[in-house]
Amino acid sequence: MLSKSPFPGVTGPVALIVLDGHGVSANPAALGNAIAAASTPTLDRLFADHPNILLKAHGTAVGMPSDEDMGNSEVGHNAIGAGQIYAQGAALVAKAIENGSLWQGSGWQEIIAQIKANAASVLHLMGIFSDGNVHSHIDHLKAMLIQAGAEGVRRARVHVLLDGRDVPETSALDYIEPFEDFLAGLARDGLDARIASGGGRQVITMDRYEADWRMVERGWQTHVLGEGEFFPDCATAVRTLRARHPGVIDQDLPPFVIADAEGKPIGAIRDGDAVALFNFRGDRAIEITRAFDEAGFDKFDRKRVPRIAYAGMLQYDGDLALPKRFLVSPPAIRNTLSEWLSGSGIAQFACSETQKFGHVTYFWNGNRSVKFPLETWQEIKSDCVPCEERPWMKSAEIADALIAAIESGRYRFLRCNFANGDMVGHTGDFRAATLAVEAVDLALSRVLPVIGAAGGAALITADHGNADEMFELDAQKPRLNPDGSPKAKTAHTLNPVPLILYEPSGQLTLKTLPDAGLAHLAASVTQLLGLEKHPSWKPGLVC
């Protein structure tokens, strides 16, 4: 049982509301700030009339290697739900490469053994092809290829998922062309390594939360079967597809297959090969992993299932043991907020739409896919349409669900995520992003009075920035496309995020700590509930 804190707690429910992708710019008047440009009367009143501070949501404050690394929804929700800072995927992998433990682990040794057992076998490396450091890093890919060559592997194929989301939207060639030079150097050392297939990360392979299995099927056809439109090399594929689809950014480019002079794919995956997915982030790695690793897989017709050795960079789901073989052990996150509250008999409610449902459940609970006792999870199915075409997404339905859960009187703690600022921010569409922010503001205007009427309180925050910087800026001036329009920024930002305390009695406020970040929120929740925090957590911010 949890002991009581000196503060008795609010009488009603406590809600933690995550405005995904809502950062706070030091220069709100800067061009491209969709949050500042939006009409947000609810947020304006909250900032004017209620306690609010800024929280760190990137870099070392969320377990990333350095403060030059932007935050993301995975690490953000890990930190919020855990109340602690854990070394995250990028840092874990970088350390494992640096100290050599990745190469000494059983996962790496098994896939290398698979290749060396048969001279015809090929090592396949698949993942996001950039240095965005949110799902993967191209330096990790390079290190794997160098090590494979040093260990006697003679043939490797790379299956690239073009980014344009965590890096500039049309930067693919900035990675492809230097990488081809890198591969040429490996060839001189005896490793035949080539890019074999690819496509935009939002088109193939990297679906999440089972929103659209067709993406994964297209990836399987492209990477495994070698089916699709053939090109002689990756750069030609990107240039041709861009010319054919004007205005389409890297993440949305169609799939392509690299073929030899005889018109045969150079990197179809076959019996005896080994495949390593070099993404370290789990949400968009689980479904393709299931297609490779799950017995009785039935989500689509794979047509041909090669007998291979498959490994993920990390184990993406510990509860489901996916994948069975992995290269780096993920952080063991324990004593999460949900677990702590469950142990005290606190009923909890978690809600989001499909696009972020795993963040308020799986990531929030320390990368676990099962519920703790007394938890209720409600998923609102996302629309399978581009977010910029429907920027309000499911904000109204999430508000409906949250209001119903509050009015039911069943739950003492509730949490939700409004995905709009992040998902629409990633499209690079400025006007759509302002509409997304306005839709969430409207949802807040409906939810907060219900919390107040129930005698409750809310903490309103964000997991990272995105919609706060929609243009690539240079000295506060937007960089321009050839047609003179501002060049869109689709990546997250390094800006802090807000923390607003909505507590109508006005008896409580927020204190500022030098290192105040997302990991301080778990203890802030228990303060509002009148409970002590777990000893390992960061201190709370309510006073």
As a whole number of angstroms, the distance between CA 78 and CA 368 comes to: 11
- Phi, psi angle pair for 353, to nearest 5°: -85, 170
As a whole number of angstroms, the distance between CA 46 and CA 269 comes to: 55
Residue whose token pair is 């409207």: 442
Element (H, E) at 256: strand 256-258
Residues ≥6 apart with Cβ < 8 Å to 331: 63, 86, 87, 88, 92, 367
As a whole number of angstroms, the distance between CA 24 and CA 18 comes to: 14
Q: Are 351 and 395 in contact (CB under 8 A)?
A: no
As a whole number of angstroms, the distance between CA 211 and CA 383 comes to: 9
- Phi, psi angle pair for 512, to nearest 5°: -100, 125
Give the chain's count of helices (H) and strands (E): 17, 17
Q: How many residues are recorded in the chain?
A: 543
Element (H, E) at 192: strand 192-200
The DSSP-derived string for 335-368 is: S-HHHHHHTTT--EEEEEEHHHHTIIIIITTTS-
Q: Are 280 and 313 in contact (CB under 8 A)?
A: yes
CA nearest to 193, candidates 150, 143, 231, 158: 158
As a whole number of angstroms, the distance between CA 31 and CA 338 comes to: 40
CA nearest to 236, candidates 257, 252, 215, 220: 257
Given 5, 73, 197, 382, which residue is catalytic?
A: 73
Q: Are 138 and 163 in contact (CB under 8 A)?
A: no
Q: 10 Å Cβ neighbour count for 385? A: 9
Residue whose token pair is 């409610």: 349
Q: How many CA atoms lie within 13 A of 262 on its CB side?
A: 3
At 376 the three-state DSSP class reads strand
As a whole number of angstroms, the distance between CA 145 and CA 137 comes to: 13
As a whole number of angstroms, the distance between CA 422 and CA 446 comes to: 21
As a whole number of angstroms, the distance between CA 329 and CA 314 comes to: 6
73 noted as active-site residue: yes
As a whole number of angstroms, the distance between CA 157 and CA 145 comes to: 10
Q: Pairing relation of β-strands 497-502 and 457-461?
A: antiparallel
- Cα dihedral 29, 32, 33, 38, rounded to 10, equals 100
**Catalytic positions, please?**
73
